[in-house]
């Protein structure tokens, strides 16, 4: 996705179907009002002509009351209908927005892995899709209605002009052709500019968050980063502004030229009509309706062209939405997809190679590893060795580039990722802190526990966070957020880093009956007592279960059935604690280093 998506044929129909689906009543009412609003000015002009002709003695005076009533009614329509249209169109806009935003995020959520979300072009497309999905369908639908309305008005006036001066109709239309061509070009350029400035816009949002998120404010305040971030943000805004200004300037030039041509045509028509009336070829009523018709046709034609260009631009932007919604799945199912059986034998990594993209270096370089069923495996290694990456591969957040991972002999790629994950409990190193209540923060570990207070409290107890949660102002119902929590309710409640980590652990404990438990640094932020308690709880919990534990505190991995040392993407040592100590390699060196730090000084 390095190019902006194009407007594809057939998409207007897709958009129209979306509107219909979102709100049939509002779509139908908007269309009806567009037709009536389109007819009202034509009716007003014709009725005015009839009144003037009847008054001037050229028509039947008996129909004057009826015509006057009709004129009043059409005047009323001209005033009232736009208000009704504003209401129904807003109704339609809201309904379409809800539908397309839901579809957009359903499509994003349907990508089972992380690769798409880590692709900057995908993020740019997503941002534009999110923006365009809120306005493009409405611009397109309401634009189409305005076009229909303008065409109806225009047809009425064209009919009038054809009777009075057919040649002028041709001149007006010929003068409008370049306008259409220029406006479509500008709309394309506007869409291209939006795509070009999208990275700058995303960075602007990023700097805005750094300046406003409480978590970021600590360092920003301490290191005095506010001015630095603001100036970076301003640079991004300025570069986007400059690109937009260039398009605006081009628009101004083109539109100025087009307005000049339009005025010349209208002025020429006016001179002709006055001269024709002076020589008796036209009545006063004819001149009135002629002037109204020229202005009406030009205004409608300009409106059609502007709306067309705007709808075209909306369609181009809607291409971003379509690109996201129609994107191929990132992990397409292979033929012969297999169900995920309960783990009985174990998990096997066979010559697994992995890198985050072709531009990144290899992180795993031929890893062979057997994680036997019912056993605990500890993964150790220096920062950046690839331990967390391996955990992500076990969850199928990525697939290996070479080699394969087998669950009881079945390749993970032959399994549906969501089904596989049903069998896994996990605490990630960079776990989430949700701006939700304490209870919800735990419940998210297993949605089936929603409302099951007993299960949620039990998980919290095991993670050693029950007492801390009970002590919060509203217990488990306390909103754990600094930025949400209702106006006027005072500052939100914040937990300590270790308490957040225990909530993440509680989420994993909710999934204790799953086949595989993955724990990536689950106790890095805990105090010594808590760490001891948590590891005792984990040991009980992992007894007879298959688990992978990553920890830099080697004292907590010594009880593992198998300890594996990962270095530079390869397994360099494996065995029990005693075997690895006897080997006297990297594990023994690291363990001894840590142990001596705790030994009493001589």
In the complex, which residues of this chain contact ligand ATP (CB under 6 A)?
118, 356, 360, 363, 381, 383-389, 429
Question: Is the separation of the CB atoms in 429 and 550 below 8 Å?
Answer: yes
**Residue closer to ligand ATP, measured from CB, 116 or 190:** 116
Cα 544 → chain centroid: 43
3-state secondary structure of 85: helix
**Residue closer to ligand ATP, measured from CB, 308 or 500:** 500
d(CA 284, CA 521): 90
The least distance separating ligand ATP from the CB of residue 350, rounded to whole angstroms, comes to 19
The least distance separating ligand ATP from the CB of residue 542, rounded to whole angstroms, comes to 20
The least distance separating ligand ATP from the CB of residue 115, rounded to whole angstroms, comes to 9
> How would you class 83 by CB atoms within 10 Å of its CB: exposed for 0-12, middle for 13-18, buried for 19 or more?
exposed
d(CA 240, CA 201): 7
Cα 335 → chain centroid: 31
> What token pair was written down for 160?
């009038």
β-pairing, 364-372 vs 346-354, is antiparallel
The least distance separating ligand ATP from the CB of residue 592, rounded to whole angstroms, comes to 19
d(CA 47, CA 201): 53
d(CA 212, CA 204): 12
**Residue closer to ligand ATP, measured from CB, 114 or 247:** 114
Which helix or strand (DSSP H or E) is residue 164 part of? Answer: helix 120-164
d(CA 50, CA 43): 11
**Residue closer to ligand ATP, measured from CB, 363 or 463:** 363
**Residue closer to ligand ATP, measured from CB, 356 or 434:** 356
The least distance separating ligand ATP from the CB of residue 568, rounded to whole angstroms, comes to 10
**Residue closer to ligand ATP, measured from CB, 157 or 591:** 591
Question: Is the separation of the CB atoms in 19 and 96 below 8 Å?
Answer: yes
3-state secondary structure of 426: strand
**Residue closer to ligand ATP, measured from CB, 186 or 378:** 378
3-state secondary structure of 335: coil
**Residue closer to ligand ATP, measured from CB, 343 or 352:** 352
> What token pair was written down for 208?
């805005």
> How would you class 301 by CB atoms within 10 Å of its CB: exposed for 0-12, middle for 13-18, buried for 19 or more?
buried
Which helix or strand (DSSP H or E) is residue 166 part of? Answer: helix 166-212
Instruction: Give the residue from 176, 182, 147 showing the smallest Cα distance to 307.
Output: 147
**Residue closer to ligand ATP, measured from CB, 136 or 394:** 394
Phi-psi group of 408: left, alpha or beta (phi > 0 → left; psi -120 to 50 → alpha; rest → beta):
left
**Residue closer to ligand ATP, measured from CB, 128 or 571:** 571
**Residue closer to ligand ATP, measured from CB, 126 or 465:** 126
Sign of the dihedral defined by the CA atoms of residues 144, 145, 150, 153, in that order: positive
What is residue 494's DSSP assignment? -
Instruction: Give the residue from 192, 201, 233 showing the smallest Cα distance to 216.
Output: 233
d(CA 194, CA 116): 21
């Amino acid at each position: 996705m390095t190019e902006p998506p194009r407007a594809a044929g057939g998409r207007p129909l897709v958009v129209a179907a979306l509107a219909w689906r979102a709100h049939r009543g509002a779509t139908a009412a908007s269309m009806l009002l567009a037709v009536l609003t389109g007819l009202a000015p034509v009716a007003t002009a014709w009725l005015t002509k009839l009144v003037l002709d009847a008054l001037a003695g050229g028509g039947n005076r008996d129909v004057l009351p009826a015509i006057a009533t009709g004129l009043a009614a059409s005047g009323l329509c001209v005033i009232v209908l736009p208000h009704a249209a504003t209401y129904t169109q807003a109704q339609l806009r809201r309904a379409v927005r809800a539908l397309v935003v839901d579809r957009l995020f359903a499509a994003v959520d349907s990508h089972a892995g992380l690769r798409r979300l880590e692709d900057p072009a995908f993020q740019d497309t997503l941002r534009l899709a999110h923006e365009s999905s809120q306005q493009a369908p409405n611009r397109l639908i309401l634009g189409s209605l305005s076009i229909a309305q303008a065409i109806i008005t225009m047809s009425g006036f064209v009919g009038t002009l054809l009777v009075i001066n057919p040649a002028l109709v041709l001149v007006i239309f010929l003068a409008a052709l370049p306008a259409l061509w220029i406006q479509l070009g500008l709309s394309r350029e506007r869409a291209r500019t939006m795509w070009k400035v999208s990275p700058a816009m995303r960075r602007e949002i990023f700097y805005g968050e750094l300046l406003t998120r409480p978590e970021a404010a600590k360092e920003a305040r301490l290191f005095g980063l506010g001015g630095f971030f603001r100036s970076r943000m301003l640079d991004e805004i300025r570069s986007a502004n400059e690109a937009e200004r260039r398009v605006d300037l081009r628009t101004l030039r083109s539109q100025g030229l087009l307005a000049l041509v339009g005025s010349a045509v209208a002025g020429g028509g006016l001179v002709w009509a006055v001269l024709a009336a002076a020589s008796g070829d036209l009545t006063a009523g004819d001149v009135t309706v002629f002037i109204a018709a020229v202005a009406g046709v030009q205004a409608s034609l300009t409106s059609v062209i502007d709306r067309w260009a705007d709808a075209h631009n909306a369609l181009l932007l809607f291409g971003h939405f379509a690109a996201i919604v129609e994107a191929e799945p990132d992990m397409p199912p292979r033929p012969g997809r297999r169900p995920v059986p309960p783990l009985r034998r174990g998990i096997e990594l066979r010559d697994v190679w992995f890198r985050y993209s072709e531009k990144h270096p290899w992180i795993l370089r031929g890893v062979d590893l057997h994680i036997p069923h019912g056993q605990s495996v500890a993964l150790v290694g220096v920062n950046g060795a690839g331990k967390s990456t391996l955990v992500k591969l076990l969850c199928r957040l990525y697939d290996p580039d070479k080699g394969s991972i087998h669950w009881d002999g079945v390749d993970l790629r032959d399994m549906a990722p969501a089904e596989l994950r049903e069998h896994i409990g996990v605490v990630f190193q960079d776990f989430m802190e949700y701006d939700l209540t304490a209870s919800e923060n735990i419940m998210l570990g297993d949605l089936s526990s929603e409302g099951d207070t007993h299960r949620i409290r039990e998980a919290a107890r095991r993670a050693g966070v029950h007492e801390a949660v009970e002590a919060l102002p509203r217990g488990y119902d306390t909103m754990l957020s600094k930025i949400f929590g209702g106006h006027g309710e005072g500052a939100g409640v914040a937990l300590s880093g270790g308490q957040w980590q225990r909530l993440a652990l509680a989420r994993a404990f909710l999934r204790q009956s799953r086949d595989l438990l993955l724990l990536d640094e689950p106790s890095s932020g805990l105090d010594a007592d808590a760490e001891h308690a948590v590891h005792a709880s984990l040991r009980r919990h992992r007894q007879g279960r298959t688990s992978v534990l990553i920890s830099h505190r080697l004292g907590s991995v010594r009880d593992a059935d198998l300890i594996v040392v990962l270095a530079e993407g390869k397994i360099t040592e494996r065995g029990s604690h005693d075997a690895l100590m006897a080997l006297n390699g990297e594990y023994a060196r690291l363990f001894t280093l840590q142990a001596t730090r705790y030994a009493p000084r001589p």
